[in-house]
Amino acid sequence: MGNPDFPSDIIPEILSRLPVKSLCRFRCVSKSWLSLIADPDFVKRHLNKATESEDIFNQRRRLIFTDESHRSLFSLDLDEFLNHNDAIDNYLDKDYDNLIINIDDNDDVVATELDYVFSELPNNWAFLVFHSNGLLLCQLYYWDLYLVNPATRESKKLPQMPDVGEAYYFDLFGFGFDHSSGDYKVVMLSYLEGGIMFSVYTLKTGSWRMIQTGYPYKCDLMQHGILLNGGLHWLLDRVGVEHRSPVIISFNLAEENVQEIPLPLASIDAKDYIVGAYRDSLCVTHYADGVTHNEFWIMKEYGVRESWTKVRISIPYSVLRHSGFWKKSHDLLVFRDRLVLCNSNGERFRNL
């Protein structure tokens, strides 16, 4: 690196432990640093450092969300927010009569607006936002897809999606990082007459590729792929059976094939439930406007039907999702349009 006082492997090791924002500034130090930071092997090394070390990972977690109009994206330092109020952990670990207490206004941590997508498209709005390994996939109102790096403020518009023919109803999407190839993949599930088919966009090639194999499933809800265990998951119905036959399917990012995962109950109706992720496990929750529930299912051992476990919570919900963030014995859940921090047994909650 041009400094005789340092062994050649020391500076890459130090830089691999720094936040992305610092690395972006350090690209100006020298041409050799710029080359190092842009090298794909260093990017992979930096990502592995962040995910393997709990201390590093917990310093870099950010919550990305839209406003009510879907015309702005915001970023919130999650751990700063959770640590800002020292009473959260004590509150959730003790027995109080009131289950919900609002955090005072002076405890708020300010969210930062991410304006680099909407500055170029001021009349557009984010229909969906996906995330994986530090990148965002934004689906805008006119179906344009953008990959966004919040740390570097760079974005890339994806090419036009492949034409799957006229006899189709709608498309569903999923986004994830394929560790086997070291590549980001956008997966499009097209619901056609008689079944579904997949198309895959890879960041390395910058192009879409259609998978010619069709699968006998149909969709009732505009639900999008849940990334877990190297695959994207949807709750669908089988085609060609006399009665409704719901099942979870997993599209494996590495092998690009489909496998079925059994549901906890045969009586589950695909139009009344959604599949999600609860920490590192699959979950199935009710999804019905105007009707509330106080239970959901978690698959504790991936792919094993007998491991489905029913979980009861104290606050009834009509739409419930896990945010993807948890801390010690606490989980950050999304009750429709509000964030609620709860302990792992589902009995203590706090509005955020």
Say whether both 73 and 117 belong to one domain: yes
Say whether both 45 and 71 belong to one domain: no
Which pLDDT score is estimated for 304?
94
Which pLDDT score is estimated for 174?
94
3-state class (DSSP) for residue 43: helix
Which pLDDT score is estimated for 133?
81
Say whether both 90 and 148 belong to one domain: yes
Which pLDDT score is estimated for 120?
53
Whether residue 81 lies inside any domain: the answer is yes
- What is the rounded average pLDDT of the residues 214-238? 90
- φ/ψ of 47, rounded to 5, equals -65, -40
Whether residue 120 lies inside any domain: the answer is yes
Whether residue 342 lies inside any domain: the answer is no
3-state class (DSSP) for residue 225: coil
Say whether both 153 and 95 belong to one domain: yes
Specify the higher pLDDT residue, 103 or 2. 2
Say whether both 19 and 87 belong to one domain: no
Task: Give residue-wise pLDDT tens across range 271-330.
Answer: 788 899 998 899 999 887 667 888 899 999 999 999 999 988 888 888 888 877 777 677
Using alpha carbons, list the distances in angstroms from residue 182 to 142, 220, 268, 275, 318: 30, 33, 36, 26, 38
Q: CA nearest 227: which of 251, 207, 203, 208?
A: 251
107 pLDDT more than 60: no
Which pLDDT score is estimated for 71?
63
Whether residue 18 lies inside any domain: the answer is yes
Determine contact, residues 64/150, Cβ cutoff 8 Å: yes
Say whether both 65 and 43 belong to one domain: no
Which pLDDT score is estimated for 289?
67
Running DSSP on this structure, what letter comes out for residue 287?
A: B
Whether residue 313 lies inside any domain: the answer is no
- φ/ψ of 252, rounded to 5, equals -75, 125
What residue type is 239 in one-letter code? V
Which pLDDT score is estimated for 338?
75
58 pLDDT more than 60: no
Whether residue 233 lies inside any domain: the answer is no
Report the run of H or E that residue 136 belongs to, with start and end. strand 135-140
Separation CA 346–CA 311 (nearest Å): 8
Q: Among 32-46, 94-108, 119-133, 294-308, name the most confident range.
A: 294-308
Q: Which domain holds residue 119?
A: 61-158
Say whether both 28 and 75 belong to one domain: no
Q: CA nearest 304: which of 248, 246, 255?
A: 248
Determine contact, residues 106/100, Cβ cutoff 8 Å: no
Q: Among 158-167, 251-260, 336-345, name the most confident range.
A: 251-260
Say whether both 89 and 119 belong to one domain: yes
Confidence class of residue 95 from pLDDT cuts 50, 70 and 90?
very low
- At which of 158, 183, 199 does a domain end? 158
Separation CA 8–CA 152 (nearest Å): 26
Confidence class of residue 263 from pLDDT cuts 50, 70 and 90?
very high
Which pLDDT score is estimated for 268?
81
Average per-residue pLDDT in the chain?
Answer: 77
Determine contact, residues 331/342, Cβ cutoff 8 Å: yes
Torsion of the alpha carbons at 148, 149, 150 and 153, rounded to the nearest 10: -90
Q: CA nearest 296: which of 213, 304, 314?
A: 314
Which pLDDT score is estimated for 299?
95
Separation CA 42–CA 46 (nearest Å): 6
Q: CA nearest 247: which of 229, 265, 230?
A: 265
Say whether both 46 and 72 belong to one domain: no
Instruction: Determine if residue 279 is left, alpha or beta; phi over 0 gives left, psi from -120 to 50 gives alpha, anything else beta.
Output: left
Say whether both 43 and 93 belong to one domain: no
3-state class (DSSP) for residue 253: coil
Whether residue 293 lies inside any domain: the answer is no
Packed helices 31-38 and 40-52: angle between N→C axes, nearest 10 degrees = 60
Say whether both 122 and 46 belong to one domain: no
Q: Among 56-60, 191-195, 275-279, name the most confident range.
A: 275-279
How many domains, in total, are found in the chain? Answer: 2
Whether residue 150 lies inside any domain: the answer is yes
Which pLDDT score is estimated for 245?
85
Separation CA 25–CA 152 (nearest Å): 10
Task: Give residue-wise pLDDT tens across range 194-222.
Answer: 889 999 999 999 999 999 888 999 887 77
Say whether both 17 and 82 belong to one domain: no
123 pLDDT more than 60: no
Where is average pLDDT lowest: 160-164, 172-176, 232-236, 300-304? 160-164
Task: Give residue-wise pLDDT tens across range 313-342.
Answer: 888 888 888 877 777 677 878 887 677 777
Q: Which residues, including other chains, have CB under 8 Å from residue 182's CB and lie 6 or more apart? A: 40, 44
Token pair 């986004």 is at which residue?
A: 175
- At which of 105, 128, 158 does a domain end? 158
Which pLDDT score is estimated for 348?
54
Which pLDDT score is estimated for 317?
83
Q: CA nearest 215: which of 235, 194, 188, 230?
A: 194
Running DSSP on this structure, what letter comes out for residue 81?
A: H
- At which of 136, 158, 180 does a domain end? 158
Separation CA 301–CA 282 (nearest Å): 9
Token pair 């998951």 is at which residue?
A: 233
